[in-house]
Structure 1
Amino acid sequence: MEQPAPFPGWRIDNRIDGDPALPSLAEIEVLVVGGGAAGVAAATVAAEKGKSVILVERYGFCGGAAVAGMSGTICGLYLASETRNRPAQVVFGFAERFRSALAKRGGLTKPQIYGKTFTVTHDPLMWRETADRLLEDAGVRVLFHTAVTGVLMDGQVLRGVIVESNAGRSVIRAKRIIDASGDAAVVARAGYRYTFGDKGKIQNPTMFFRLGNVDLDAFGVYWGADTICPPKVVEAIEAADHSGAYRLPRNKIWIFPTTRPNELMVNATRLSGRDGRMLNVIDPADFTEAEIFGRQQVREYARFLTDMIPGCADSFVVDTGVEAGIRQTRSIVGKATLRNEDVVDCRKRDDGICRVPWPIELHSGDKPKLHWLLDDYYEVPYGALVPEIGENIIVAGRCLSAEHEALASARVTAQCFEYGHAAATAAVMSIDQVTPFSDLRGEDVREAMTHQGSAL
Structure 2
Amino acid sequence: MMETDLRPSEELTADVFVAGGGAAGVAAAVTAARAGASVVLVERYGFCGGGAVAGLSGTLCGLYEATDKVDCAPRQVVFGFVEDFISEMERREGLTGPVRYGKTWTRVHDPLIWRESADALLASAGVRVIYHAEIVAALCDGNRVEGALISTVEGRLSIKARVCVDATGDGALAAMAGLETSMGHEGSVQNPTMVFRLMSADVSRFLAAYGNDSIMPVEVTEMITAANGQGYTLPRRKIWIFPTTRPNELMCNCTRIVGADGRELNATLWRDFTEAEIEGRKQAREYARFFRDRLTGCETTFLNDTGVEVGVRQTRQVKGRATLQNADVLAGTKFADGIARSPWPIELHSGAKPRVEWLLEDVYEVPFGCFVPVEGEGLLTAGRCLSAEHEAVASARVTAQCFSYGHAIGHAAALSALDSIATHAIDGRDIRNLLNRDGAALDS
Which interval holds the TM-score relative to the shorter structure? over 0.9
In structure 1, runs of 5+ residues without a counterpart are: 1-21
| CA-CA distance at 1:365 after TM superposition | 3.0
1:143 is matched with which residue?
130
2:141 maps to 1:154: yes
Is residue 184 of structure 2 the alignment partner of residue 184 of structure 1?
no
In the alignment, is residue 438 of structure 1 matched against residue 424 of structure 2?
Answer: yes
1:226 matched to 2:230: no
Matched, 1:50 2:31: no
User: In 2, distance between residues paired with 1:277 and 1:442?
Assistant: 39
1:315 is aligned, of 301, 318, 322, to 301
Asked if structure 2 preserves the Cα contact closer than 8 Å seen for 1:202 and 1:364, the reply is no
TM-score by length of 1: 0.94
Q: Partner of 1:7 in structure 2?
A: none
Of 204-213 and 91-100, more deviation after overlay is shown by 91-100
SS in structure 2 of the partner of residue 28 of structure 1: strand
Aligned to 1:342: 328
User: Displacement, 1:431?
Assistant: 2.0
CA distance in 2, matches of 1:52, 1:186: 20
- Partners of 1:135 and 1:25 in 2: CA distance: 21
Residue matched to 1:236: 223
Q: Secondary structure at the match of 1:343?
A: helix
More deviation in 162-171 or 245-254?
A: 162-171
Matched with 2:189 is 202
Give the letter for the 2:111 counterpart. P
Query: Retained in 2: the 8 A contact 1:34–1:181?
Result: yes
Q: List gaps (5 residues or longer) in structure 2.
A: 1-7
The one-letter amino acid of 2:75's match is A
Q: Structure 1 residues 120-129 or 166-175, which shifts more?
A: 166-175
Of 42, 45, 54, 1:59 maps to 45
| Distance (Å, rounded) in 2 between the aligned partners of 1:40 and 1:249 | 35
| Kept after mapping to 1: 8 A contact 2:150/2:159 | yes
**CA offsets 1:249-301 (integer angstroms, 9 cap, x no match):** 00000000000001000000011112212212111111111011100000100
Between the aligned partners of 1:365 and 1:195, the Cα distance in structure 2 is: 22
Give 1:44 shift: 0.7
Q: Tell me the equivalent position of 2:4.
A: none
Q: Which residue pairs with 2:3 in the alignment?
A: none
The Cα offsets for residues 62-93 of structure 1, whole Å up to 9 and x where unpaired, read as 00000000000000000000115211000010
Percent pairwise identity:
55
Q: How does 1:109-120 map to 2 (within 5 A)?
A: 109-120=96-107
Q: Which amino acid aligns with 1:302?
A: A
1:299 is the counterpart of 2:299: no
Q: Contact (CA 8 Å) 2:192, 2:311: kept in 1 or not?
A: yes
The CA distance in 1 between the partners of 2:147 and 2:131, in whole Å, is 18
Give the 3-state SS of the residue equivalent to 2:296 in structure 1. coil
Cα drift, residue 34 of structure 1:
0.3
Partner of 1:411: 397
TM, length-normalised to structure 2: 0.97
Write the distance in 2 (CA, Å) between the matches of 1:353 and 1:345.
17
2:116 maps to which residue? 129
| Residues 1:257 and 2:243 aligned together | yes
1:289 matches 2:289: no
Give distance in 2, aligned partners of 1:61 and 1:81: 36
CA–CA separation in structure 2 for the residues paired with 1:194 and 1:216: 44
Q: Residue 403 of structure 1 aligns to which amino acid in structure 2?
A: E
The Cα of 1:169 is off from its aligned counterpart by 1.5
Match of 1:382 among 368, 391, 398: 368
- Pair 1:272-2:250 in alignment: no
Residue 228 of structure 2 aligns to a residue in which SS?
Answer: helix
1:101 is displaced (CA, Å) by: 1.5
Partners of 2:172 and 2:391 lie apart in 1 by 22
Report the 3-state secondary structure (helix = DSSP H, G, I; strand = E; otherwise coil) of the residue aligned with 1:394: strand
Distance 2:148 2:201 in 1: 47
**1:104 is matched by which residue type in structure 2?**
R
RMSD, matched Cα: 1.1
Q: Deviations over 1:146-197 (max 9, x none)?
A: 0111011111011111000121222111000010000000000000000000
